[in-house]
């Protein structure tokens, strides 16, 4: 097993964690501090927790699905030794997704929680 497969599997595991955490937030109505929002946010002083969950649920689930699918494609490309250029392009797209997702979560945090 190559390091690429291990690294791409970790991306998939993070995607699955996004899916589980997003669904958990939606069903319980509680936000896990430290996963999507910083440790410095005091949950007792938050203005609109349900609003934050509604605003970020679709983004969290979408990011999770994209990460899982991207990881699966990357693993297949690695196992069958298909074009490292395609792998690089997918990794760059996943990195861009991460930055856009992070920016959106920060905006929602400022709007709904602070």
DSSP collapsed to 3 states, 3-58: HHHHHHHHHHHHHHHHHHHHHHHHHHCCCCECCCECCCCCHHHCCCHHHHHHHHHH
The DSSP letter of residue 59 is H
Q: What's the pLDDT tens digit per position in 45-69?
A: 888 999 999 999 999 999 999 999 9
pLDDT score of 1: 67
pLDDT score of 45: 81
Summary mean pLDDT of the chain: 92
In this prediction, residue 33 has a pLDDT band, given cuts at 50, 70 and 90, of: confident
Residue pair 101/109 in contact (Cβ under 8 Å)? The answer is: no
Q: What is the mean pLDDT of residues 86-103?
A: 95
Entry pTM: 0.90
């Amino acid at each position: 097993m190559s390091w690429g497969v291990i690294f791409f599997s970790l991306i998939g595991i993070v995607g699955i964690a996004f899916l589980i955490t997003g669904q958990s937030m939606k069903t319980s109505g509680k936000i896990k501090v430290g996963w999507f929002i910083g440790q410095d946010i005091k949950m007792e002083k938050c203005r609109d927790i349900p609003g934050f969950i509604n605003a970020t649920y679709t983004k969290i689930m979408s990011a999770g699905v994209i990460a899982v699918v991207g990881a699966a494609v990357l693993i297949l490309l690695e196992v069958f030794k298909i074009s490292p250029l395609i792998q690089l392009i997918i990794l760059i797209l996943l990195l861009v997704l991460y930055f856009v997702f992070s920016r959106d979560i920060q905006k929602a945090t400022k709007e709904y929680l602070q």
